[in-house]
Structure 1
């Protein structure tokens, strides 16, 4: 036929036929892709004979008997009865949706009534119920399992061990929002177990969870984000999540209007950011948009979201490559506002970020100029019995104390507050160690040490002596004794110590006998600083003290000989 056409018409006809062929191939591929995308949905199970879908299943005799036993069991109001287990198994495995619904409804009932742990064998019928073709059965069965998991009526590891993870993960592909919500909640609860996380991730749960995290249904979105958060609590699953593309999804969810989704996503990013290996990937997305989003969340009116944004930034700021740009990003004014906020959780979160910033000495001048030191003193006074706040504040002040900032620290009245809090705390307050350690470190700065001396009195001296004699808390004893040694260089302070000479000799002897060299060193340092006073010089001639000094000298000689021998041998080699 082609011979009857001219060359031009033949060419056009060939082109047209080629066009039709390509269009047919594309259409066929699209049809294949369509069926491939829906074949895993729970509402289109393909694992049952085709003929069974076109008629209503007839009740078998054993199913009728199981239904009768089940009704009798319910009428007798027995929540758990092993005699009913066989009936439940039969109903759950039935092709009849009504019978399956009865079993699912029973499980929903006991999930709301059960006070004890559900026997393991009662988990077996769940496999058939969760894989049911009936949507109501899926909804009720998945909800009851969520209830049992949340209330602790079933063991999380056992649920996975008996094979229920597979049908639970299948439900993530459901087109029904309620089923999606319940299955995500199941995964989220199961993922609180360290043993379950690898199983959940390796069974292919990550991709559907990431998809559901972008759901338009807020319930589904919340539970999916919660499941992802729990998976980030293990290092191995963190790597798998990042590999599957979790970071862009989590960063995007920081913009969610739902504060719960914001919190879960931010918490997940905080966990991932705890591993510096993930920092480059986190910061490459959107040209570092994560920083801008976190800075925005620091202003959130929802306390837990604001705090989690701070903790995520804290983990990111641990990266040395980021430190140089931190001040430029202008976080300090915002941190200052959070420190002034009248909420302890917010204050602690802001302090955690500031503590990391002070580790970079190039930030010191900017932090001091922001007048943050004054608010640190106020926080210490307000939360003086909080070990967490005291530790943060003490560390920050120590790191900010340099030869150039000594006067700023004095002007901020931080030293006065530290001494005030020191006098208010008792030996039973854990905060006392952090406050004492901070004062001890500050006395290494001459100008600050002079100010400490000016603000100290006999009560401070007595308190220090009492703490130095504490054998039950050696770290606290060491820090208090260090302050005495430093302040003991001053004549006026030495006068306040004279009535307590015997106590001082007592803890010096204890230090000299201590196995740790730092204690021996401090004992010797204290003797050197205090013997300038004639009264102390006379007491330090005590025979027992001299004997112990000779023992230390002998130990030191032996160590020096051993050290020289090792070094000499090294040179020879």
Structure 2
């Protein structure tokens, strides 16, 4: 059955306006006006009775189906809500023009959606087409609600729902004048849009425009579900572009000011997804003369953790452009970010660190970050969360990026050195963040003042742990950076004393490095020998035969490489003619 046509909708609108203006003596005219409208074919009224609502005659097969259905409901148990033998009965009731029978079918589907534990057979979805297209409002409400329940609980396959043709009637219900139907249908679309293939189908059927309309609804339930559906559509690059072309950006940005924290979160998450593609940045930042950045900065102060975090993620994506970073810093961003780093919420800390990590990549921001005294907070964060791989990862990376000759003293004063050394010994060998902490320490040892402080804070346990990491054959990058740290710290007599009892282990990994195919490992092996042989004990150990044989091979390879380079760069005249 079809819903109201445009002509009838206009009649109803005129009727509402008429009632508002009318006095009591107009009621008879209004009644006549309403009954006349019943003659429209879209309502399927009985032409032989123009002055009364059409009551379809109950067919014999429908009576039998209804009786059988009632008996089935009485006998059905919670564990047997699906009975394929009764499917034909449901199909008969759903296809009936009698609203009461359709309501019975819709009510039973609602019962199924609340009781079903397993996947519903695909054939049971077929009656939904008639129920969703019913002219009866209660049927629409119950049918759409039951379908939402089934989708949310995973009792039906999302792709199948679209493939059997239910998407079109679901999208039609988005245009309903009833808030409950709008709420249910938009929730259906939101759940269907979690499927990649369904997103393009929703966009192709014109669902984006309908959802944007409902996103402006005054009903908070409708608005929330509509924005949630838009969020799921932003998870694909193609639908992101379609949303932007349909005018979704101003709507989403406006909803950042919504009094509903869920709508704020959905809108901000959608903008975060769109901002992951730099092609949209210019458009996003031009809306409302750059109002987006100010709104995101405001949301960073939200008491709702997930809204605050999402604002950080959106800013991180937008700040991939250095010009945008300058604009963000200009609106007093760093003090607010610093407050989030001090938060007691680990989730907020992590979100703030993702933004700071992006900003620290740009060396023009280094002075501003250091002057804000953020380094001290980073040191405290790492000490508090030294066993957290995520926190350790971000903090170590940021300190690494901020380490320059100009920031050496600030890093020392911030206790970051103590923090990264403690994190090194607390992280497990298989933690990915251990690599970032080790890289950070290796970078810090390149700066003399910081290296001296690291040596002061180091003990035999640190030395042994670094030696163990340098021998990790499964993780060559971890091994490389641990060995880099040993090589640099070995320049100091105090640290070389800690290494003396483990000289044989050092010879072992140096020998392995010299045999390695990568040039960087060979160079590091040679540098380690050079730095540690200043200690007489190591000079003696490094003179053993195996190591000397390998050094001679490296020397020979180097000589051969040099000869080849000479021949290529400076060929003799005879060689040139031969090449021609």
Q: TM-score, normalised by structure 1?
A: 0.89
Assess if the C-alpha contact under 8 Å between 1:385 and 1:431 holds in 2: no
Assess if the C-alpha contact under 8 Å between 1:508 and 1:523 holds in 2: yes
Alignment partner of 1:121 is 2:123: yes
Could you list the runs of 5+ residues in structure 1 that have no partner in the other structure? 1-29
- Mark the CA change 1:545 to 1:137 in structure 2 (over 3 Å): closer, same or farther: same
Choose which of 446, 463, 485 in structure 1 pairs with 2:465: 463
Q: Secondary structure at the match of 1:402?
A: coil
Assess if the C-alpha contact under 8 Å between 1:406 and 1:445 holds in 2: yes
The count of aligned residue pairs is 539
| Residue of structure 2 in register with 1:55 after alignment | 54
Q: Deviations over 1:14-39 (max 9, x none)?
A: xxxxxxxxxxxxxxxx989957999x
Shift of 1:430: 4.2
Q: Distance in 2 between matches of 1:46 and 1:502?
A: 95
Q: Distance in 1 between matches of 2:568 and 2:97?
A: 83
Q: Distance in 1 between matches of 2:366 and 2:318?
A: 19
| Residue of structure 2 in register with 1:353 after alignment | 355
Q: Distance in 2 between matches of 1:294 and 1:98?
A: 51
Shift of 1:231: 0.3
Shift of 1:188: 0.4
- Mark the CA change 1:553 to 1:81 in structure 2 (over 3 Å): closer, same or farther: farther
| Residue of structure 2 in register with 1:151 after alignment | 153
Q: Deviations over 1:147-180 (max 9, x none)?
A: 0000000011111111110000000000000000
| Residue of structure 1 in register with 2:490 after alignment | 488
- Mark the CA change 1:126 to 1:397 in structure 2 (over 3 Å): closer, same or farther: same
Shift of 1:553: 3.8
| Residue of structure 1 in register with 2:71 after alignment | 72
Q: Distance in 2 between matches of 1:211 and 1:231?
A: 15
| Greater shift in the superposed pair: 513-522 or 408-417 | 513-522
| Residue of structure 1 in register with 2:333 after alignment | 331
Alignment partner of 1:224 is 2:214: no
Q: TM-score, normalised by structure 2?
A: 0.88
RMSD over aligned Cα, in angstroms? 2.5
Shift of 1:568: 7.1
Assess if the C-alpha contact under 8 Å between 2:39 and 2:46 holds in 1: no
| Residue of structure 1 in register with 2:551 after alignment | 549
Q: Distance in 2 between matches of 1:160 and 1:339?
A: 45
Q: Distance in 1 between matches of 2:480 and 2:344?
A: 35
- Mark the CA change 1:217 to 1:383 in structure 2 (over 3 Å): closer, same or farther: same
Q: Deviations over 1:387-429 (max 9, x none)?
A: 2111110111111111111111111111122223323344354
Shift of 1:50: 5.0
| Residue of structure 2 in register with 1:381 after alignment | 383
Choose which of 258, 261, 279 in structure 1 pairs with 2:260: 258
Shift of 1:442: 0.8
| Residue of structure 2 in register with 1:181 after alignment | 183
Q: Secondary structure at the match of 1:325?
A: helix
Shift of 1:452: 1.2
| Residue of structure 2 in register with 1:517 after alignment | 519
Choose which of 165, 171, 194 in structure 2 pairs with 1:169: 171
Shift of 1:210: 0.6
Q: Deviations over 1:209-242 (max 9, x none)?
A: 0111111111001100100000000000000000
| Residue of structure 1 in register with 2:403 after alignment | 401
Q: Distance in 2 between matches of 1:45 and 1:525?
A: 92
Alignment partner of 1:535 is 2:537: yes
| Residue of structure 1 in register with 2:32 after alignment | none
| Residue of structure 2 in register with 1:88 after alignment | 90
Assess if the C-alpha contact under 8 Å between 1:385 and 1:429 holds in 2: no
Assess if the C-alpha contact under 8 Å between 1:254 and 1:265 holds in 2: yes
| Greater shift in the superposed pair: 489-498 or 75-84 | 489-498
Q: Distance in 2 between matches of 1:133 and 1:412?
A: 70
Assess if the C-alpha contact under 8 Å between 1:118 and 1:153 holds in 2: yes
- Mark the CA change 1:103 to 1:364 in structure 2 (over 3 Å): closer, same or farther: same
Could you list the runs of 5+ residues in structure 2 that have no partner in the other structure? 1-5, 15-37
